[in-house]
Homo-oligomer: A and B are copies of this chain.
Amino acid sequence: MNLPEGKDKFLQSWGAFGSSWGVNRTMAQIHALLMIAPQALSADDIMEELKISRGNANMNLRALIDWGLVFKELKAGERKEFFVAEKDMWKVVKNIIIQRKKKELEPMLKVLDELSSVEGTDPEAEEFVRMIKEIKLFSSKADSTLDTLVKADSNWFVGTFMKMIK
């Protein structure tokens, strides 16, 4: 396979992958494009390669920066901004975990906590509280496991984790 074909296939696949996990398809594609780029790209480069508007490029680049997956790079003598992706996969995944944990898992834990105090003695209320508590227990464990995972160092997952769980 040659480069243009391969590149296109990667952009499509990474976009579809992101999309199926609730990440905007274009955001994932910009991320893909920057990950495989040998140097920093400008907004115009990205707009051209992905055939998207300036507004779209800008909004998704900001989001990627928020997630810690992309960095702004200023070139001496150039007024425009360039962008580079984080290329260490462990850092990429770690940042994604941090963000999604904060935005999705933690709010859910808070809700589960409130719900475990629902009153009632009928079977429906009892089963409700029982199940909420089961979900909360599991979610808390997942939450602290992710905390531990995120605190571990770069090489830990790739090296040690595999052996430990064998």
Write the A86-104 contact mask toward B (1 if CB under 8 angstroms, else 0): 0101100100000000011
CA of A2 to CA of B1, assembled, Å = 61
* A128 CB-CB contact with B under 8 Å: yes
Cβ of A110 to closest chain B Cβ, rounded Å = 9
Write the A112-124 contact mask toward B (1 if CB under 8 angstroms, else 0): 0011011110111
Instruction: Report how many residues on chain A are interfacial, defined by Cβ distance under 8 Å.
Output: 60
Cβ of A143 to closest chain B Cβ, rounded Å = 11
* Chain A interface SS verdict (over half): helix
CA of A24 to CA of B163, assembled, Å = 36
Question: 6 A–B contact pairs at CB < 8 A?
Answer: A2-B120, A3-B122, A6-B118, A9-B114, A10-B128, A89-B134
Instruction: Give chain A's interface residues, CB within 8 Å of chain B.
Output: 1-3, 5-7, 9-10, 13, 17, 19-22, 35-38, 87, 89-90, 93, 103-104, 107-108, 111, 114-115, 117-120, 122-128, 131-132, 134-135, 137-138, 141-142, 144-145, 148-149, 152, 157-158, 161-162, 164-166
